[in-house]
Amino acid sequence: MDKTTPVSSMIRQNGPIKIAAWRLMMEKYQDFMTRFEHEFRARHELSANEFDVLINASAAAQVRQRDLLHSLVISRSALSRLLGKLEGRGLVTQEPDPEDQRGVLVTLSEAGAELCAEAAETNGEIILAAFSGLTDGEADEIFELVSKICPVG
């Protein structure tokens, strides 16, 4: 089976290298998300977005739904649906914020915290496997280089 050439490689040959690098980051991101979706569903019956909600919530303290939204890359309505689904599975609780009548406080349940910890191990396995060909120094260099990218301004 022939493998198609990633768009980033074509751009690298014919266009600005900075656009090729951005495209390569997007392609790698998509590869990771595809793997996360598969493994989270197979091992934990979670979507990647559901895991993202769990990992950003806390069993030790309540988090405001609006603060949770700032940590995620989903819409307010999508978050509300996800929280409803997770609450239905007994993984989170939601209650009105006594300090803000429009607000909602979210807390991981014990079952949610356990599932989150298990899925976090899967998350780590995927990432460490993907980075296994790099030394710690190379990973640090990638971190420093990506940190220089500033899409604002």
pLDDT value of position 15: 86
Encode pLDDT of 58-103 as tens digits: 888 899 999 999 999 899 999 999 999 999 999 999 999 998 888 9
Q: Residue 149, CB half-sphere, CA atoms under 13 Å: how many?
A: 10
Element (H, E) at 100: strand 100-108
Q: Supply the pLDDT for residue 152.
A: 79
Question: Measured between alpha carbons, how far is 8 from 24 in angstroms, rounded to an integer?
Answer: 5
Q: Show Cβ contacts of residue 101 under 8 Å, excluding neighbours closer than 6 positions.
A: none
**pLDDT value at residue 59:** 84
The tens digit of pLDDT for each residue in 10-54 reads: 998 998 999 999 999 999 999 999 999 999 999 999 999 999 999
State the pLDDT at residue 143. 96
